[in-house]
Amino acid sequence: MSGLEGLDRPLATLAFCWRLERHDGVTIGLTSHDRDLEIGHVRYRAAPGMMPSAIHSRITAEGSDTDVAGALVADAISERDLMAGRWDGAALELRLTEWEAPGEMWLLLARGEIGSVTCRGGAFTAELVGAMAALKGPVAPSTSPDCRAHLGDGQCRVDLAGRRKLVTVTGVDDAVVSATGLAAGVYGYGNLRWLTGPNCGTVQAVIDNDAGSVTLADAPHFVVEPGTMALLTEGCDRRLESCATRFGNAANFRGEPYLPGTDLLTRYPGA
């Protein structure tokens, strides 16, 4: 039973079920019922404080997003993880079932990704960004002198397999992470993924690096102890010169470095 067949009864025993999957693979299930439910090899833990806002199902190009509000659960959805960004962009499914027969009616109410999250007191509110959000983007990319692709994606096509390095952190001073054996300058505009410690799973942007340290855009959210493992991925400044000389990938450059821009009209004659 996957549709509305269970809703035409005089008395229905309904419960909301949330399935959340983070980018690092961590998946949890929560339900508005007062006891855990086992559905499809996933345990949906009792979280009666979880409640969605009004959900509208309609065919429209506007596509209003949904808000999901609930109480912070220390060992499932904690304020520390929310503030660290571990749940940013996590895939979320909201379904309706009957707690007397879990899974027999499995009605999909909403599906999307978690957008902005706000915390107040012991509760949080998360925005559920639906598929309609993709239609709000530009139809065609704007021209730019810099490359619009991201290093290693389907447009860039640079193989990142040999451009990652596993490092052992020897110390952290604010946003400067110390490590040895680095090639100077190659990790700027790249990222660092924490593999162990309290920051495990989070990814941070890299501004620049030298042979013995990496400068992050922001300081780590939690304390980093010496010996913590991290994975560094090279970055690119998106200039044609770097694309051609460093990566040998000018054929896939996604920019227009020689196309005159609007500043051409304001240039002084003869400049």
pLDDT tens figures, 122-154 = 666 777 776 666 667 777 888 889 999 999 999
pLDDT bucket at 268, cuts 50 / 70 / 90: low
pLDDT at 52 over 80: no
**Residue at a domain's end among 111, 133, 155:** 133
Domain that holds residue 34: 14-133
Confirm whether 114 is domain-assigned. yes
Asked if 128 contacts 117 with a C-beta cutoff of 8 angstroms, the reply is no
- Shared domain for 28 and 123, answered yes or no, is yes
Instruction: State pLDDT tens for residues 182-197.
Output: 999 999 999 999 999 9
pTM across the whole model: 0.72
- Shared domain for 42 and 125, answered yes or no, is yes
pLDDT bucket at 208, cuts 50 / 70 / 90: very high
Number of domains in the chain: 2
- Shared domain for 43 and 113, answered yes or no, is yes
- Shared domain for 44 and 125, answered yes or no, is yes
- Shared domain for 128 and 46, answered yes or no, is yes
Confirm whether 154 is domain-assigned. no
